Amino acid sequence: MAALIIKYQLADGVSRDQFEDWVRTKDQPAMRSLSRVESFETYRVTGKLMGEGDASVAYVEMFDVPDLEGFTGEDMPGELVQGVMGEFMGLVKDPEFLIAEKV
């Protein structure tokens, strides 16, 4: 199983309330409806456990995807994901999309 991790900041002019409402009403229902997404959670970063200064990101999303090949080959190019991603890219800046696996 692969984990997909997305780290990002909010785009200029996008409020936390506006973004989190979009996450709850559009992003999470759409992504969770995909059969290849076992779980999907969005986390607001509230601080650093160690070190000083601000965290490097404002939000982190984590997906568990048992069939990464099917997800990237069929789900990602599909209308549902492309629609959500189009909206997402207008709400965030500097997203980093990571693929990870358990050690």
- At 89 the pLDDT is 97
- At 19 the pLDDT is 98
The residues, any chain, with a CB within 8 Å of residue 59's CB and separated by 6 or more, are: 7, 8, 9, 10, 19, 42, 43, 44, 45, 92
Which class for 15: exposed (0-12), middle (13-18), buried (19 or more C-beta within 10 A)? exposed
DSSP 8-state assignment for residue 35: T
- At 1 the pLDDT is 84
Consecutive sets of 10 residues in the chain, 103 residues long: mean pLDDT of each?
96 98 98 96 96 95 95 95 97 97 91
- At 21 the pLDDT is 98
Q: Are 13 and 52 in contact (CB under 8 A)?
A: no
Distance of CA 36 to the CA centre of its chain: 15
Which domains, and CATH codes, for the chain?
Answer: 2-101 (3.30.70.100)
